[in-house]
Amino acid sequence: MTRLLAIVAIAVLAHSAATAEPCPGNADALGTERVLTVDAKTTPRVGRKHFPDTLPLNDKELVLTFDDGPWPTTTPRVLATLKAECVRATFFLLGRNADAHPQLVRRALAEGHTIGHHTYSHPLLNQMTPDRAEAEIDRGIGRDELAAYGQFRTTPSTPFFRFPGFASSQPLLDRLTQRGIVVFGADVWASDWLPMTPEAELQLLMTRIVQAGRGIVLMHDTKAQTAAMLPGLLRELKKRGFRIVHVVPDIGPVSH
């Protein structure tokens, strides 16, 4: 029953994003242009930073993603900014942070964002045996699922995963494909693991976005500079005619 409720919730969020009304209190909001369903059968690995192919996006379409959260001092600021602009994003969670801050996981989910997975403790998985690496992946999925839906399970409600540091291996990629889990790389990244001012990060990221023209954008909601930079980024994207695409899993028909 819990699994069914999670699937229905995803379907409702996808529908509401696709039919959203003008952004309350912000007539000039960036908004979310459309919803894109993603399935491992057709797009098992996406993002040209990591793989040859990416999502089927049109010119000036972006998917916003955030890694490593949730974090109590920065994730709420990121969520508030996204809500003010009616923008929906994908959060690739660390299981240990989901454990520590489950209320933020549930808030992100309730506000219409997609919950993906990023291991439990952020090790470089290509330096582990495949069995140990998959156990680390599953531990993260389980803790994320517990925080979001109240049930520990290693079959994710949203089968989206990103490797820490993009450190994959072919055996692990094959295992995730067999499990129907889409692996996300990125097309554009903020380099916000490096110390810089919000203004410098905005300039760097916008330069890369304009050069790429479309794609999956990688940021970290654990970084104060990114939380501070995000309002300016969304305004600049609106000004330059970029549009936001929200990715959700292709859940297929719901059986009762």
| Residue with the two structure tokens 């909001």 | 29
Q: Which candidate, 79, 81, 90, 145, places its Cα nearest to that of 113? A: 90
Picking from 89, 75, 97, 80, the residue whose alpha carbon sits closest to that of residue 143 is 97
Which ranges constitute the DSSP H helices of the chain? Answer: 2-18, 75-84, 95-100, 102-110, 130-149, 170-178, 198-212, 224-239
Give the angle 194-195-196 at the CA atoms, nearest 5°.
110
Single-letter residue type at 92:
F
**CB-based contacts of 202: which residues, under 8 Å, 6+ apart?**
229, 232, 233, 236
The verdict on whether 113 is a catalytic residue reads no
- Which of 101, 113, 117, 220 is catalytic? The answer is 220
What does the alpha-carbon distance between residue 108 and residue 112 come to, in Å, rounded to a whole number?
7
Contacts of 80 by beta carbon, 8 Å cutoff, 6+ apart: none
Inter-axis angle of helices 130-149 and 170-178, nearest 10: 40
**Catalytic (active site) residue 28:** no
Buried/exposed code over 29-56 (b: 16+ C-beta within 10 A; e: otherwise): bbbbbebbebebeebbbbbeebbeebbe
* Catalytic entry in 50, 67, 192, 221: 67
Residue 40 CA to residue 116 CA, distance in Å, equals 14
Cα–Cα nearest to 191, from 215, 214, 209? 209
Catalytic residues: 67, 220
